[in-house]
Structure 1
Amino acid sequence: MTDVIPGGWSETEPATKDIQRICDEVKGQVEEITKKKYGIFRALQYRSQVVEGTNYLIKIHAGGFIYLHVMVFEALPCYGGKKSVTGVEEGHTKEDPLVPF
């Protein structure tokens, strides 16, 4: 991960194993929001924002030409470290930039 300014978004980075673990953990929440099931759910890129916890904006390949942009909030460990999906944008392409929404 690159250095992050508190409150500011990081540059877009290739997804890491830790980012994929976050995606695996919140896949059910995304499926509930979109009312769809995904066989593939692979993190490609991400940005992060340090707040009272961390916001992640993750580009996910969900099979075929399906790309999602997913916002996840990870609470601080002292608050349980829970991960919550705070937004999902469907209809993206592989080339679309990650823009906070």
Structure 2
Amino acid sequence: MACISSSQCLEIFMVAPAFNPSSLEARVKSQLEEKENRKFSVFKAVSYRSQVVAGSIYYIKVDVGDGEFIHMTVLERLPHENKPLSLQDYQTRKTQDDALEDC
């Protein structure tokens, strides 16, 4: 909230572009493959939730094929920082039925 005086306040809302989980393949897949030292032929986000901080944190469940899922924590920094999505943490050996939790 920005205030000119104690009686004149203006609420300012910034709307970030909607997160597109399908953009993960190009933006985060290679980071995970490098950390896991393997290639994923399937890499599809099936669910996610987000938390707004100094940027946004996304908790994402990814189908990597053969009934295996990976839970990832991905950081999207504020636009003025001009930084790519960053894989912060991940958990392997998850199933489709495992609840998406913080990594």
**Shared fold per TM-score greater than 0.5:** yes
Q: RMSD in angstroms over aligned alpha carbons?
A: 1.6
1:29-88 alpha-carbon deviations (Å, 9 max, x no partner) = 000111110000000000101000000010000011110001100011010142100011
CA contact (8 A) 1:24 1:41 kept: no
CA–CA distance in structure 1, aligned partners of residues 19 and 88 of structure 2: 21
Q: Spell out structure 1 runs of 4+ moving beyond 6 A.
A: none
Alpha-carbon distance in 2 for matches of 1:67, 1:49: 21
- Higher share of residues assigned strand: 2
The 3 A distance-change label for structure 1 pair 83 and 21 is same
Per-residue CA deviations over 1:1-53 (Å, capped at 9, x if unaligned) read: xxxxxxxxxxxxxxx98111034311000001111100000000001010000
Report the TM-score when normalising by structure 1: 0.79
Q: Bigger radius of gyration, 1 or 2?
A: 2
Q: Which stretches in structure 2 are left out of the alignment for 5+ residues?
A: 1-17
| 8 Å Cα contact 1:55/1:73 also seen in 2 | yes
TM-score computed with the length of structure 2 as normaliser: 0.78
Would you say the 8 A contact 1:52–1:76 is kept in 2? yes
Indicate whether 1:50 and 2:28 are aligned: no
User: Is 1:33–2:27 an aligned residue pair?
Assistant: no
- How many residue pairs get matched? 86
Cα pair distance change 1:20/1:84, threshold 3 Å: same
- Corresponding residue for 2:102? 100
Q: Distance in 2 between matches of 1:83 and 1:17?
A: 11
Conserved in 2, the CA contact under 8 Å of 1:68 and 1:89? yes
